[in-house]
Structure 1
Amino acid sequence: MGNHLHLLLKEGKEPLETVMRRICGSYVLWYNNKYDRVGYLFQDRFKSEPVEDDAYFLTVLRYIFHNPLKAGIATKIQNYIWTNYSDYIEGSNGTDTDLALDIFNTDREKAVRLFIEYINKESDDKCLDIPGKGRLTDDEARRIIKDHCKVDHTIDLQNFDKDKRNSYIKDLKEGYGLSIRQIERLTGITRGIIQRL
């Protein structure tokens, strides 16, 4: 995997685009300076997709760990040097392992055992290109919000009473496939409210 990398990041206060711009910008400056070069370093913009439930989170994590094996550059997950797999097994080295391990069990020893079993299980996981997981464009999502919620502007959803608003948000997520991030961005309703529904 000399031409790409996989990151599983939890979005915080800053949008993912800002974080990636900072990471990529800093790396390009360092790389260009080190190798006495100028210009672009990356061919394309990064690709991303939201991970909105525990099952898909674990699928993405396993996909990332299996990637070097499928690429033929490692024969065992633990032998690939550019991975944080050992952080989950031996203890964190800056990686937040609690989220993943707590999904398996609150007892750390059992969680690690179940984690190892799950990650090392043969799989044909696909991420970023899962059929049926394609996301709607913002224009399509706006149209759906306006039509379904019968509003002129997507931010008008904020003015509905709590029960009606929550019912619409649930419909948008489950019935129409809008992502949490997309609903938040288009309606201005906070992520915490959207996630709870």
Structure 2
Amino acid sequence: MSRKLRIWYPGAMYHITSRGNRRSAIFYDDIDRKVYLELLEETRFYYPFHLHAYCLMTNHIHLQLETTNHHIRHIMKMLNSRYALNFNKRHRLVGHVFQGRYGAEIIETKDYQLEVSRYIHLNPVEAEMVSFPKDYRWSSYGAYVTGEGNPHVTTKKILSYFSEPVKEKYRMFVEGETVRN
């Protein structure tokens, strides 16, 4: 039985997930996380895309990714295969790093864009790794709520859905406080 084809069109936005094989760690340390982000940028050079949010957890990743002119399969094949090769070589391992095919849920509404962004940024809080999403170093949340730059992510589209002060309104939205537009 063949796999179901993924929906794709230029400008398609996805919530991408990829989990470690047997739910094992895919990041042993900060060097692994830095390598993943470097490979993400290398992949973006060959297959341009917009990254709206990300979170690198211990045994899985979340990406909110918008394609431009390349199918998501090319982007994820390059990113995951290069990371797996690097990870196995660095840690002297063999075999699968990722558990099966990556997940790719298409995002077609503004409300779902916002929900996915919030979900991704709250992942470390839900996993009880930190108390506040801003305290987790390996996500794009800081770029949304502080003045710190993050070369991996663009916040423009998501923040455009909020009125001034946009960063504070986004923070309130994510952290469950009442937002008044």
| 1:1-197 paired onto structure 2 within 5 Å | 1-89=57-145, 90-94=147-151, 95-105=153-163, 107=164, 110-121=165-176
- What is the aligned partner in structure 2 of residue 131 from structure 1? none
1:127-173 superposed Cα distances (whole Å, 9 cap, x missing partner): xxxxxxxxxxxxxxxxxxxxxxxxxxxxxxxxxxxxxxxxxxxxxxx
TM-score under structure 1 length normalisation? 0.57
Q: When the two structures are superposed, what TM-score results if normalisation uses the length of structure 2? A: 0.62
CA apart distance, 1:71: 1.2
Q: Using the TM superposition, give the Cα deviation of residue 59 of structure 1 relative to its aligned residue in structure 2, in angstroms.
A: 0.4
SS in structure 2 at match of 1:8: strand
TM-aligned CA deviation for residue 91 of structure 1: 4.6
Say which SS state the counterpart of residue 2 (structure 1) adopts.
Answer: coil
Compare CA radii of gyration and give the structure with the larger one: 1
Distance 2:123 2:168 in 1: 21
Aligned equivalents of 1:6, 1:84: Cα separation in 2 = 11
Q: Which runs of 4+ in 1 moved over 4 A?
A: none
Aligned length in residues: 119
Percent identity, aligned pairs only, is: 29
Structure number with the higher strand fraction is: 2
1:66 deviation in Å?
1.1
Q: Distance in 1 between matches of 2:122 and 2:143?
A: 16
Question: Where in structure 2 are there 5+ consecutive unaligned residues?
Answer: 1-56
State the secondary structure of the residue aligned to 1:87: helix
Aligned-CA RMSD value: 1.5
- The amino acid of 1:114's aligned partner reads K
